[in-house]
Amino acid sequence: MKKRLLVWSGVGVLIGLLFISIALNWRVGRPRLLSNVSVNDSTPFGQAAHSLPERAPEDIPALHTALHDQDPHVRGEAAAGLVEVGAPAVPALSSSLANPDVRIRRAAAHALWQMGLEGKAAASALSTSLKDADAEVRRWSAAALGAIGVRTEEAARALGEALRDKNPDVRRNAAEALVKMGPAAEAALPALSETLEWEDLPVRRRIVHFLSRYDGPAASLLGKALADEDSGIRMTAAEALARLGPDAKEAVSALRKALADPNAYIRERAAHTLKRIGPGARSAVPDLLGALRDSHVEVRVQAGLALWKIDRRSKEVVPVLAAALADPDADVRRFAVKALGTIGPPAAAGAPALLALLADKESDVQRSAEAALTKVQAASGRPDEAPD
């Protein structure tokens, strides 16, 4: 009896192992359906995918057929095959973006994202898919538009609308795609402006970083970023506006408020930018006069130069610059010296302080003071451009 039980037990184990082997062969072989592994699949779509020993343009019809298979492994391998084929497979994937089956639309959008630059011909179809009812399709369509390097106004407008999507992943991918578009993203600037008001921090940072390098009219958006709760975003915006110089005129109102920013560097950059804008920033004069009393000398000096450049306010400015000549920081002294030299004869009240710097411990400060004295003591002459 015992022997018989052992025999039957052995037979049971062998049968179990046989079934496990069959199951493993089916599960392992199926994901490799586009390789040379042979898998017994009775569905026509599976057979179409299995029959392809290599992924080549002539195999696109069969791969496209396999993309419609009910099995996710078959669809996945078919999509991978189309990606490997590259640009010739784009029409097939583009048409699949309009398929009634959401699973096929997802696979197509994801495949076009994986395809990258080779998928450029799908730009129009992907732009349309940004309005798909399914969030996953929209998400991968936005990511794909970024990956393929599209630069069309149609795509920019569609991505701009996607920035208002209720799904955060869609918004994130749309923002990333717009950042990669460069100047072509101008059509989406109004939407980017809205995004700066409510999007999460990483997306806002990416947008402001993009705007800081944007070769176009972005001053008003950067001005809006100056009011962001994140100091890093405000600093990036302040630096970008400073580089714009006179082109930052649209942001004067925001720059005036930035003169009261908790961060001294942002206040200094705001004063510097107003200085570069010049007379066009006349509305900022009251704020700049207040900045002459700032706790940081760098802000006071930049505010003084801005007032001189905008409104020739030497009476209020010269005492502030002369006081900065005694600062322990050589860079501050050097800058204040150049500022007084820039003002020229109207800065005569600062001459005694400049004379004292002829004995400064820094030789370059001495030389700068001597040059500034020459300008200040000149009988007449046109004022120099304000130093940076």
Q: Which two tokens stand for residue 103?
A: 């699973």
- pLDDT score for 358: 93
Confidence at 41, pLDDT banded by 50, 70, 90: very low
DSSP codes of every residue in 171-218: HHHHHHHHHHHGGGGGGGHHHHHHHHHHS-HHHHHHHHHHHHT-SSS-
Confidence at 313, pLDDT banded by 50, 70, 90: confident
Domains and CATH numbers, the chain: 62-184 (1.25.10.10)
- pLDDT score for 192: 79
- pLDDT score for 1: 41
Overall pTM > 0.85? no
- Cβ atoms of 148 and 123 within 8 Å: the answer is yes
- pLDDT score for 275: 94
pLDDT higher than threshold 60 for residue 45: no
pLDDT higher than threshold 60 for residue 52: no
Looking at residues 87-100, what average pLDDT do you find?
93
- pLDDT score for 386: 58
**217 vs 324: which has the higher pLDDT:** 324
Distance CA 356, CA 127 (A): 68
Q: Is 249 helix (H, G, I), strand (E, B) or coil?
A: helix
Share of the chain above pLDDT 70, in %: 83
Question: What percentage of the chain's residues is helix, strand, coil (to nearest 5)?
Answer: 75, 0, 25
pLDDT in tens, 272-309: 999 999 999 999 999 999 999 999 999 999 999 999 99
Q: How many CB atoms lie within 10 A of CB 48?
A: 23
- pLDDT score for 180: 83
Distance CA 301, CA 283 (A): 19
Confidence at 18, pLDDT banded by 50, 70, 90: very low
pLDDT in tens, 329-343: 999 999 999 999 999
Supply the DSSP symbol for 150.
-
- pLDDT score for 34: 37
CB-based contacts of 116, cutoff 8 Å, min separation 6 = 147, 148
pLDDT higher than threshold 60 for residue 20: no
CB-based contacts of 127, cutoff 8 Å, min separation 6 = 141, 145, 152, 154, 155, 158, 159
* Short-list 198, 260, 270, 202, CA closest to 240: 270
- pLDDT score for 91: 94
Q: Which residues of 290-329 are buried (b: 16+ CB within 10 A; e: fewer)?
A: ebbebeebbbbbbbbbbbbbbbebbebbbebbbebbebee
